[in-house]
Structure 1
């Protein structure tokens, strides 16, 4: 199992490095080469979140029927590689227009919907009992570390070799991820009960929503995250134009802002394992981390001044919230496993993504609209301020929900499993 987790780590890390090349390249293409407006940039962001809204619930039902999650992940990596390679070829031929970027966002968003709901199923197959939190922290730390490498080299690589090369590297990284999955040891298929019929499908699709609404903590968590998810999508949609135009950060060093965020996110992932000690309630940690993340998000629109200062402030505005967000993300894994049965885990995860996707779609479009009407910086202040106020109001309700119900922590690993995991 330790070998398979290492292979999974390497595959995820390679994919993250490649994805950072695309994440840096696409805003450059849209803003610098295509001259996209804030409204047009927001369309790309909205296209990335739309699939979660449209396909999230069906993806959850599909995930809870999949017997071999690893094969699904290999297929998804292959689809991603082909889609990104097609846009890279279009850039090389100088025929790419804004609809190409929107289409890539749609494909990537669709793949992400299924990947996210299958992810926990596969991870549960790879790790030993009691090892989920540590494994999740290790994988996330690897992703943040890979993000540092990707951001460090992506900007100079784009300047030296062009955006088409950056996307080609991302396509290759997805193939490496698929290869890592293919060489892992076979695992037993999941035990699934066959279900047929349209009424059964619809009923199962809505089961995740029923579970979330029946769980007091899940209800409080969704209320707490509603506004930050909405405003975060708007902030993300304006990120490229804010950094490249408002702060006038050169393309070659544009990715350094993300490096600061990645470094601090890596720090959060590294300390998450210690923060999430077995005796601590992971739900309380999630609430406190999301509260701190929203408040620290006010640093981002405050960036300005000489280039080094603007880079540092923008990086801290993204990175300090990333510390708390990384811990909360790791903490969500044991909460989902403890509060949800394995048979419904895919549907609950998918429903959360639909919830976030719908708010993200509206938030991205709203961010573009505010950017066009108010200006980019004023729009960012409006979004960040709204998120901070909303979380301050709802966090006490979420903490009350935590106190109102006991938490069932992740079962500890046996001594034999601890020894095997260490080998």
Structure 2
């Protein structure tokens, strides 16, 4: 195909992914509101719903990745996955409108969307490389990611008022439509959709690869210290996320219409953190130290959330900082983590290490979501947030000195050119 036709297809892909990212924010914000307001769910039940989306990644992520490596028609698969997601979300919306949806149905929907999203994220990069070639992946990925950031930010602003106007069912229906629009954009593309495959790549190979990646993080010195600074923030943030809905709506008494605005601010903080990280990771800085410092400060900022009290504007502002600042520093840490792994992990092991890291993060998120909900039921939401933030800060404080010494011994690697890819979107 000529360059003009490729640009046309990339533009269609951008529109589809951007629309889909916009719709996903509606579901992500509507689900906890539905659980709290319509279904009167406990903190523990909300934690289970939050954990449900991580379960397929934890159990089936590697086999699904192996399956993605065997797909020869990635665009057709992406189209089918969009249709499946639209059907799942539409069924949830219909059940909510008719009063037949409960916590079990929300959890089941999260499991389905999490599994489909895990496969979709892997096939996304297969298709992108097939569409633009190896040399064009970086520029195309940057454009697609910028669109997703902007769409998610706009979605967070509009989600709360939309839920107030049309209810949770209407917000879910908007997400279902966004999936269908994404599928339509894929169908409108005209570039060839065929990836030659060789036999021999299977789930067993992927499992062996994950074991090799896990062995890297078990090595003494900085790799083992780094694992602590990945697991503790991932567990803490999953637990805090599970409690954020009940805290804002029941403890702070934030109006439902303003609920999405708090998360709009957090999305803006993630975007700003990603932009700032390029300057933070300057040529004279050790990215390992940046990772440690950013994760440590993020855990300090988590303590701002349970501080939210007093008049509603003051409490809402404090809560927004408690949600947004950890994301700001987490975005910096994630970019530093990509640079560190690209430099420290051997080239033939990098993919396996990333697969292992994804499994570890999924496991930490699952434990955090369930544990956070249970702790909220046992102690109350605000005390649980204090306990989570204090425990995370204590773990980081104990681990930081030896981790810094290990990071300094490793020296500073060369920062790779271009971003390390991240999943296209998180379904649901």
* Shift in CA distance, 70/343, structure 1 to aligned 2, threshold 3 Å: farther
* Shift in CA distance, 11/170, structure 1 to aligned 2, threshold 3 Å: same
Residue from 12, 24, 29 that aligns with 1:19: 24
Who is 1:203 aligned against?
A: 208
In the alignment, the residues of structure 2 paired with residue 279 and residue 174 of structure 1 have an alpha-carbon distance, to the nearest angstrom, of 44
Residue from 62, 66, 71 that aligns with 1:61: 66
**Any stretches of 5+ residues in structure 2 without a counterpart?**
1-5, 420-428
Residue from 246, 252, 257 that aligns with 1:247: 252
User: 1:122-142 deviations in whole A, cap 9, x for unaligned?
Assistant: 55564765974x766654443
Map of 1:315-334 to 2, 5 A cutoff? Answer: 315-334=320-339
Indicate yes or no: 2:394 matched with 1:389: yes
Who is 1:417 aligned against?
A: none
Residue from 57, 73, 82 that aligns with 1:77: 82
Indicate yes or no: 2:106 matched with 1:101: yes
Deviating more after overlay: 236-245 vs 401-410: 401-410
In the alignment, the residues of structure 1 paired with residue 212 and residue 401 of structure 2 have an alpha-carbon distance, to the nearest angstrom, of 28
**Any stretches of 5+ residues in structure 1 without a counterpart?**
414-423
Query: With structure 1 as the length reference, what TM-score do the two structures score?
Result: 0.84
Who is 1:168 aligned against?
A: 173
Who is 1:420 aligned against?
A: none
User: 1:267-319 deviations in whole A, cap 9, x for unaligned?
Assistant: 22333444445775544433332222222111111111111112111111111
Who is 1:410 aligned against?
A: 416
* Shift in CA distance, 289/191, structure 1 to aligned 2, threshold 3 Å: farther
CA contact (8 A) 2:62 2:206 kept: no
CA positional deviation for 1:12: 3.0
Map of 1:20-419 to 2, 5 A cutoff? Answer: 20-66=25-71, 69-119=74-124, 121=126, 126=132, 129=135, 132=138, 139-183=144-188, 186=191, 193-195=198-200, 200=205, 202-213=207-218, 218-276=223-281, 281-335=286-340, 347-403=352-408, 404=410, 407-411=413-417
In the alignment, the residues of structure 2 paired with residue 97 and residue 333 of structure 1 have an alpha-carbon distance, to the nearest angstrom, of 39
User: 1:105-131 deviations in whole A, cap 9, x for unaligned?
Assistant: 111221233344445555556476597
CA positional deviation for 1:177: 2.8
Task: Give the 3-state SS of the residue equivalent to 1:255 in structure 2.
Answer: helix
CA contact (8 A) 1:155 1:253 kept: yes
In the alignment, the residues of structure 2 paired with residue 263 and residue 245 of structure 1 have an alpha-carbon distance, to the nearest angstrom, of 25
* Shift in CA distance, 148/412, structure 1 to aligned 2, threshold 3 Å: closer
In the alignment, the residues of structure 1 paired with residue 99 and residue 237 of structure 2 have an alpha-carbon distance, to the nearest angstrom, of 32
Count of equivalent residues:
412
CA positional deviation for 1:362: 1.5
Query: With structure 2 as the length reference, what TM-score do the two structures score?
Result: 0.83
In the alignment, the residues of structure 1 paired with residue 24 and residue 418 of structure 2 have an alpha-carbon distance, to the nearest angstrom, of 34
* Shift in CA distance, 240/335, structure 1 to aligned 2, threshold 3 Å: same
* Shift in CA distance, 46/412, structure 1 to aligned 2, threshold 3 Å: closer
* Shift in CA distance, 322/248, structure 1 to aligned 2, threshold 3 Å: same
CA contact (8 A) 1:130 1:410 kept: no
In the alignment, the residues of structure 1 paired with residue 189 and residue 347 of structure 2 have an alpha-carbon distance, to the nearest angstrom, of 22
